[in-house]
Structures are given as structure tokens and as C-alpha cells.
Amino acid sequence: MTETESIAYDVVVLGAGPVGENVADRTRAAGLSTAVVESELVGGECSYWACMPSKALLRPVIARADARRLPGLSQAVQGPLDAAAVLARRDEYASHWHDDGQVRWLDGIGADLHRGHGRLSGPRTVTVAGPDGMQKVLTARHAVAVCTGSRALLPDLPGLADVRPWTSREATSAKQVPGRLIVVGGGVVATEMATAWQALGSKVTVLVRGRGLLSRMEPFAGELVAESLTEAGAEVRTGTSVESVTRQNGTVVAVTGTGDRIEGDEILFATGRAPRTDDIGLETVGLEPGSWLSVDDSLRVSGSTWLYAVGDVNHRALLTHQGKYQARIAGAVIAARAAKVPLLESDPWGAHAATADHHAVPQVVFTDPEAAAAGLSLAEAEQAGYRVRAVDVDLSSVAGAGLYGEGHRGRARMVVDVDEETLRGVTFVGPGVGELIHSASVAIAGQVPVHRLWHAVPSYPTISEAWLRLLEAYRDA
């Protein structure tokens, strides 16, 4: 017979990734007792299989690429990367897949960690099946927050499981460099992992069903990244679908829609994400298992008074930083509602409404060159019905970009709402632009008029002068 223990809390958080951690941090700061349930590692996807290990893999790649463009340094860095050292550093950034530090952090804020598989078992109730066979029933006085994230979505290809394909998890945690890697997909995971593994010694073939890479950004972003990957030795095939995959004597064989056979030692499918909601008991509260959860701007699930869905599971913006932003909002909302404090729209911090998810989402793709965007692309702005005008500049006109080295590609675009005279979107592609994009986020989220941006003077010679060139192009057009 399974032993059962019942415990009551103010808040129960389902999932201990960065999103769940931040919800718990905010509710504990408000004095609410909080339980956190996790079936894997505390710290979640970002810490162990996404943001941290992937960027640890990419940093030496980008640093070497930059160094190779600098006279006086380029000759010293023509050799291959030390793959073993890169992978060892990656392991350190992933904490060797141990979560002791994250557990100590949870303890430090006073949240209770319950390890095991958690499922909703009715309103305000989560049942946890622990690894020791113990079953705990956690009840929430005020809120349950679903922060279970997303998982890699694999296509429905016969026999795919027998091939043992890579997903983003295997791509960021692999212990050896494959001689040949097939990458299926053209988004962020596909381009970043193609960049990393090609530089580490793989022969990479990228198969993209659409017309180009990074289709959710401005077209020039994907074009510049594709050119760079090709020059690095990768093969990029657009308009190419994969119809079947087999593994024969250890070799992966992918057959395309045109009948071409492509061989590799491993194959990575980076073809989208699905919510991790298929086995968390949604049916017990009238919701569909496996579905994305629709929420309002306070992150409360539509039609509920107590259930919140924060981060990837609500499908608003599948990015760690946006999930953490939502978590701060959700934590503040839960605390205010628990204290029966009205959620005032006049709150100057906007602490009770996740408005940035609608118009100011930033993203950086850590390829060579880097691609970074905030807000809407030109096509997205036009589709949304805004009257907009876009201006472009070549980053070769920016002295600060040139200092990064010779042969850098770079381009910037600013999308301006001509009725409001504010920015709807900004895209940068080039060296170091990941550190530039927050200025775009500030301008968009703050709805700063373009004539005021003219008085935000960029330091010389920095790549921030891209702003001056964009504003000149807009004013003089």
C-alpha cells in the first residue's frame, strides 16, 4: 500500500526550472508558504540542456571567429579548437548535471522542495509520486502555478525512435564530437548547434524545410547566418524535407523529399517544441492534457481563479528570460490576490500585467554573426495592421563594428510606427549585437518617440552608433 502524506501551503509550484524558481522567489518574498515540485533537476532545461551548456559551447567558437578577423592575432588562432577542453568547460557550466547548488538556493529562500512526478488531482491540489514510493498530497490555499516548460517536438516519421535521434538535450550534452552531423530545422537551436558542432570538428549538413534560416526574424538575419555557416564548411539546404530516417550499421541515413540520401553519424531534429502538460493531471480540472494553457496578462489560466501557467506552457514567448519575467509578474499577482489587494493598472512598475510579451520580446541567436531582435519584424508589424516604415543600415558604416575585425557581416533594421512615431521592432546582425539589443527593448517597451532617441547619444567608437545611423536613415529618408 502506498503511504500518503498531506501538506497544505499557500502556493504550490509545479516545475523547478528558472520560471518555477522565480515564482517561488516572489511568493516567498511576500511571506507565502511555497512548495516546489520537480521530477528532474532543480534548475530545469535552461541550466542543464539549453541556455547555459549551449552558450558555453558557442563562446569559444565566436571568440575564435572574432580573433581570426584581427590582424596581429589571426595567425595565432588558425588551428582547431580543443574540443575536449570546450566540452569540459561546458560540463562545468551545466554543473556536471548535478543540482546541489540550485537546491541550496531554494532552501535559502525558504521554499520546500518535493522531488517526484507531480500531477493536479483536483482544484488547488497536486499529488506527488516520490522516487521512494511515498505519495504526498499538496493543497494550495491561494494558487497552483504550472511551470513545467516545453520539450522537443519530434516529427511523425516511421521508425524514428529506433534511430535514436538527437534533440536539443543531446546536442548540448553530447560527450563526443560526431564526425558527421545532420541538423533538421532552421530555427535557433538548429543554427546555434550547427555553428557549434561544425566549429568543433563535425561535418554539418543543415536541412531546412522552409526558404531560409531564422524565419521568425528579418530575412537578412537568416541569410547572413547561412552565408557564414557555408563558409565555415557546413552545407545548408533550404526547401528540403526529410521523408524517412534509418540507422544502418551505426550510420544515420536521411532521405529527402527529392530522394537524396544524406548520411551522418548523428541526426539532430530541431523542429519545434511541445508543452510538457501531457501528464500533469489537467483533465482533473477540466483542461486538455498536452495542451498549451491560455492565460490572461496576470498569467492566470482562462476561466480559473487559482491556476496559473507561467513560461513556455502558455505559449506566449518560449524564451527563458520571458518566462522569468512572467514569473515575477505571476508571483506579484499571487501575493496581491492572497492579500486581497486590488491589481491597480496605475501601478508604475506594471508588476501585475505581463505586457512586454505582446510587443517587446527580445531574443539573441548566438551564431557567427550574432543575430538579435526585439519587438516585431517588418512583416509581423504589417500583418498586425500597423502603418510602419523600415530603415536599414549596413554595419560597415559603424566604426565600432569595424573594430571587431575585418570581414564581419552586419546589418541593422528599425521598424517605425509612422502614426505613433515609436519603434515596433529592431533587428541587429553582426559582432557583439547580443549586448546591444537591450537598448532596443528599452526603446520599444518604453514607447520612446524616435525624435527623443535622437538625443540618446551613443559613445564613440562603439557598435551602439548603429542607433545613430538608423535614426539618420529614418530622418533623411
Is it true that domain 369-476 has CATH number 3.40.50.300? no
Quick: pLDDT tens for 13-60: 999 999 999 999 999 999 999 999 999 999 999 999 999 999 999 999
Quick: pLDDT tens for 296-330: 999 999 999 999 999 999 999 999 999 999 999 99
4-43+99-151+275-356 adopts what CATH topology? Answer: FAD/NAD(P)-binding domain (3.50.50)
- What is the band of 468 on the pLDDT scale with cuts at 50, 70, 90? very high
pLDDT at residue 1 greater than cutoff 50: no
The residue among 240, 210, 192 whose CA lies nearest residue 56 is 192
- What is the band of 2 on the pLDDT scale with cuts at 50, 70, 90? low
The pTM of the whole model exceeds 0.85:
yes
Spatial separation of the C-alpha atoms in residues 266 and 194, rounded to whole Å: 12
How confident is the model at residue 345, as a pLDDT? 64
**342-354: average pLDDT:** 82
The residue among 301, 304, 344, 348 whose CA lies nearest residue 326 is 301
160-272 and 4-43+99-151+275-356 share a CATH fold: yes
**170-189: average pLDDT:** 98
Quick: pLDDT tens for 113-159: 999 999 999 999 999 999 988 999 999 999 999 999 999 999 999 88
H helix count then E strand count, the chain: 16, 21
Mean pLDDT of the chain: 96
**255-279: average pLDDT:** 97
**334-340: average pLDDT:** 95
Quick: pLDDT tens for 398-418: 999 989 888 888 999 999 999
pLDDT at residue 445 greater than cutoff 80: yes
How confident is the model at residue 348, as a pLDDT? 80
- What is the band of 261 on the pLDDT scale with cuts at 50, 70, 90? very high
How confident is the model at residue 406, as a pLDDT? 85
160-272 adopts what CATH topology? Answer: FAD/NAD(P)-binding domain (3.50.50)
How confident is the model at residue 296, as a pLDDT? 97
Spatial separation of the C-alpha atoms in residues 24 and 29, rounded to whole Å: 8
Strands ordered across the beta sheet of 242-248: 242-248, 251-256, 261-264
8 A C-beta contact, residue 285 and residue 238: no
Spatial separation of the C-alpha atoms in residues 31 and 29, rounded to whole Å: 5
Domain segments of the chain: what residues?
4-43+99-151+275-356, 160-272, 369-476
